[in-house]
A and B are shown apart, each in its own frame.
Chain A
Amino acid sequence: MPSRIESVDEAALKAEAFARENGCSEEFMSAVDLAVRESVANAVKHGNKFDESKKVEMTMNCSDEGIEITVRDFGTGFMVNDVPDPTNPENLLKVNGRGILFMRSFMDEVEWSNPPGGGIKVKMFKKTINAD
């Protein structure tokens, strides 16, 4: 996907369709939707800094255990531990910095890595709650 805001909606629609095809519940899809939107927005905005020559890559895999989604940018990278805790009282009125909190809140596992070739890859996993 190109590094532009429209890619956030595009990624969310793909993730929703994928989750739906795999029989996931509405609540599950809502959580995945938010996590995908936040991770792709981070990749476009903070990773690739809206440089449309740099792509955002997303993969989705489903297993009996759940859904794994990866989102990768090709920017200069960042240290996730350097991102201030947005729930710290001194940060409550900051405009940015809540996306990672949402990803961690709505997915069961979230981890960041620095893949060969540069950029950041975030891998998110959510245990499947199958729709009845």
Chain B
Amino acid sequence: MADITISERQAGDVTILDLSGKVTIGEGSVALRNAIRRLLGEGKNKILLNLGGVGYIDSSGIGELVSSFTAVNKEGGTLKLLNLTQKIQDLLAITKLLTVFDVYDTEADALASYS
């Protein structure tokens, strides 16, 4: 059984990835990496990661978020985060990555920030 499910939807020129499950070393991190690479290959570089369904993330998963952020930036795009659970917010605070990522509580606010 897959650790993570990633579904894609479009809101204007912003691609929203709804993640649910675990973003951890191995399958979860690889699935996120592949999804981001695929989007960039399709020329979609405004990406919003909805992490509301992510029940667990480890340092490898956090590293994959950073890797995704860097990869999207290199393509001239923007990657933002939506719906952080308290646990993920705590981990991003500990790692000081809340200073790196644009984080939103509502999808409407997140989408407005791209325009």
The reply to whether B100 and A93 contact each other, CB–CB distance below 8 Å, is: yes
The reply to whether A87 and B58 contact each other, CB–CB distance below 8 Å, is: no
Q: Does B35 contact A (CB under 8 A)?
A: no
Q: Does B67 contact A (CB under 8 A)?
A: yes
Q: Does A92 contact B (CB under 8 A)?
A: yes
Cα-based distance from A131 to B70 in the complex (angstroms) = 42
Interface string of A85-97 (1 = CB under 8 A from B): 0110000111110
Q: Which residues of B are found within 8 Å of A8, using beta-carbon distances? A: 24-26
Instruction: State how many angstroms separate the Cβ of A99 from the closest Cβ of chain B.
Output: 4
Q: How many residues of B contact A (CB 8 A)?
A: 21
Contact partner of B25 (CB less than 8 A), chosen from A5, A86, A87, A93, is: A5
Cα-based distance from A30 to B87 in the complex (angstroms) = 10
The reply to whether A95 and B63 contact each other, CB–CB distance below 8 Å, is: yes
Q: Which residues of B are found within 8 Å of A38, using beta-carbon distances? A: 58-59
Q: How many residues of A contact B (CB 8 A)?
A: 21
The reply to whether B63 and A101 contact each other, CB–CB distance below 8 Å, is: no
Q: In the complex, which of the residues B24, B70, B95, B99 has the most CB atoms of chain A within 10 Å of its own CB atom? A: B95
The reply to whether B63 and A96 contact each other, CB–CB distance below 8 Å, is: yes
Contact partner of B95 (CB less than 8 A), chosen from A34, A41, A45, A98, is: A98
Interface string of A44-59 (1 = CB under 8 A from B): 0100000000000000
Q: Which residues of A are found within 8 Å of B24, using beta-carbon distances? A: 8, 37
Q: Which residues of A are found within 8 Å of B83, using beta-carbon distances? A: none
Given contacts A87-B96, A93-B66, contact A45 B58 (CB under 8 A): no
Instruction: State how many angstroms separate the Cβ of B21 from the closest Cβ of chain A.
Output: 13
The residue in chain A whose Cβ has the minimal distance to the Cβ of B27 is: A5
Contact partner of B59 (CB less than 8 A), chosen from A30, A87, A93, A98, is: A98
Q: Does A78 contact B (CB under 8 A)?
A: no
A residues sitting closer than 8 Å to B (CB atoms) are 5-6, 8, 30, 34, 37-38, 41, 45, 86-87, 92-96, 98-99, 101-102, 105
Pick the 4 closest A-B CB pairs, nearest first. A98-B59, A5-B26, A95-B63, A99-B59
